[in-house]
């Protein structure tokens, strides 16, 4: 395999830091670009002494010229709490960031992968979600800055592909969890583990009967690399996630069990436009990428709890 120069935007975040690690282990030169909006230097500190790792503090909304062979575009806050903090910035990151990275791909001939999301399906009316479903998204709600931003980024990717022939890959990532999630980011797994470890009440939003499907981070990273290295012309979009669907209440019970916590559960208001159900149909990823997630929910949660307890998985 030829050593490639790979740019990871959002490389100091949860997924980005695992991806940088994986790409280095495969023998690539990795440039991690991040403005530390939600990511931290701590996430990639252990990579700084690697001579094939470079770190650039930069905002994707500003153009940049770098000579690279591949671009993974992950820069964007991912938790509802973070992306709703400054919604205009979230849209700018999604759209201006995508344009800048696509222009970079156009100018350098690099292949570019977009980290899109299951949120493009909104509150889905078909279940499980397949890639040909166009979604059910509120364009003016509090989640829209993220959902519509990601949808527009997908549009841009496909327009650069059709209009300029840019070599694109688009993946739709479903809820992913694991070590290095930000404990304060308000996402369900980090919130529940944090609450359980401190024997505080678990905050169930609504009745807790809404569902999600959670993918362990190592499985997801495997799939990102497989997609980037897939045949030319296979653009996606491809769903990436673990189809094991659970209610949020079940997740709370499982985390209480694993942590042997004394926490109870408390009901809190359901956030506006919170999707009722979500589960990926991953037939396309299985068929074309030969990928199926391997880490089950119980094992993944155990590893995550261990990390939140000790700082190592």
173 binds ligand NAD (CB under 6 A): yes
Q: What is the largest CA-CA distance in the chain?
A: 58
Among 204, 217, 225, 301, binds ligand UDP (CB under 6 A): 204
User: Rounded to an integer, what distance in angstroms lies between the CA atom of residue 103 and that of residue 10?
Assistant: 17
Task: Report, in Å, the least distance between residue 256 CB and ligand NAD.
Answer: 22
Task: Report, in Å, the least distance between residue 205 CB and ligand UDP.
Answer: 3
Query: Active site includes 216?
Result: no
User: Rounded to an integer, what distance in angstroms lies between the CA atom of residue 206 and that of residue 222?
Assistant: 34
188 binds ligand UDP (CB under 6 A): yes
Residue 158 CB neighbour total at 10 angstroms: 16
Q: Which is nearer to ligand UDP, 153 or 248 (CB)?
A: 248
143: its two tokens:
């989640």
Among 4, 28, 31, 34, binds ligand NAD (CB under 6 A): 34
User: Rounded to an integer, what distance in angstroms lies between the CA atom of residue 288 and that of residue 235?
Assistant: 11
Q: Stretches 17-25, 165-173, 204-212, 305-313: which one binds ligand UDP (CB under 6 A)?
A: 204-212
Q: Which does 76 bind (CB under 5 to 8 A by kind): ligand NAD, ligand UDP, none?
A: ligand NAD
187 binds ligand UDP (CB under 6 A): yes
Q: Nearest 5 degrees, angle CA 296-CA 301-CA 305? A: 155
Number of helices (H) and strands (E), helices first, in the chain? 9, 13
175 binds ligand UDP (CB under 6 A): yes
Say how many residues touch ligand UDP, by CB under 6 A: 14
Among 5, 6, 13, 280, binds ligand NAD (CB under 6 A): 13
Q: Which does 15 bind (CB under 5 to 8 A by kind): ligand UDP, ligand NAD, none?
A: ligand NAD
Q: Which does 212 bind (CB under 5 to 8 A by kind): ligand UDP, ligand NAD, none?
A: ligand UDP
**Residue 231-260 contact track with ligand UDP, rule CB under 6 A, x = bound:** -----------------x------------
212 binds ligand UDP (CB under 6 A): yes
Task: Report, in Å, the least distance between residue 1 CB and ligand NAD.
Answer: 25
**Site for ligand NAD, residues 57 to 86, rule: CB under 6 A:** 59-61, 74-78
246 forms beta bridges with: 212
Per CB under 6 A, residues contacting ligand UDP are: 79-80, 175, 187-188, 191, 203-205, 210, 212, 248, 271, 274
- Residue ranges that bind ligand NAD, judged by CB under 6 A: 9-10, 12-16, 34-39, 59-61, 74-78, 93, 97, 115, 117, 173, 175-176
């Amino acid at each position: 395999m030829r050593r490639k120069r790979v740019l990871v935007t959002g490389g100091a975040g949860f997924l980005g830091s695992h991806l940088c690690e994986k790409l280095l282990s495969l023998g690539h030169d990795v440039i991690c670009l991040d403005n530390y909006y939600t990511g931290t230097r701590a996430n990639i500190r252990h990579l700084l002494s690697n001579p094939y790792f470079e770190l650039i503090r930069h905002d994707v909304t500003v153009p940049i010229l770098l000579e690279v062979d591949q671009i993974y575009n992950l820069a964007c806050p991912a938790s509802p709490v973070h992306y709703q903090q400054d919604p205009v910035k979230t849209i700018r990151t999604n759209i201006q960031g995508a344009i800048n990275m696509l222009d970079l791909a156009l100018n350098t001939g690099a292949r570019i992968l977009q980290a899109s999301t299951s949120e493009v399906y909104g509150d889905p009316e078909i279940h499980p979600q397949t890639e040909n479903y166009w979604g059910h998204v509120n364009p003016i709600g509090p989640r829209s800055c993220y959902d519509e931003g990601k949808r527009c980024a997908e549009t841009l990717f496909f327009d650069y592909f059709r209009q300029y022939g840019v070599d694109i890959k688009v993946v739709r990532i479903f809820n992913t969890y694991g070590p290095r999630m930000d404990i304060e980011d308000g996402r369900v797994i980090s919130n529940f583990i944090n609450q359980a470890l401190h024997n505080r009440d678990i905050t169930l939003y609504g009745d807790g009967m809404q569902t999600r499907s959670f993918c362990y981070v190592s499985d997801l990273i495997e799939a990102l690399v497989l997609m980037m290295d897939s045949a030319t012309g296979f653009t996606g979009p491809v769903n990436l996630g673990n189809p094991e669907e659970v209610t949020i209440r079940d997740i709370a019970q499982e985390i209480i069990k694993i942590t042997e916590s004394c926490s109870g559960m408390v009901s809190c208001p359901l956030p506006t436009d919170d999707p009722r159900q979500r589960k990926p149909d991953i037939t396309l990823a299985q068929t074309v990428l030969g990928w199926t997630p391997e880490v089950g929910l119980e094992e993944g949660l155990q590893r995550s709890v261990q990390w939140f307890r000790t700082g190592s998985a």
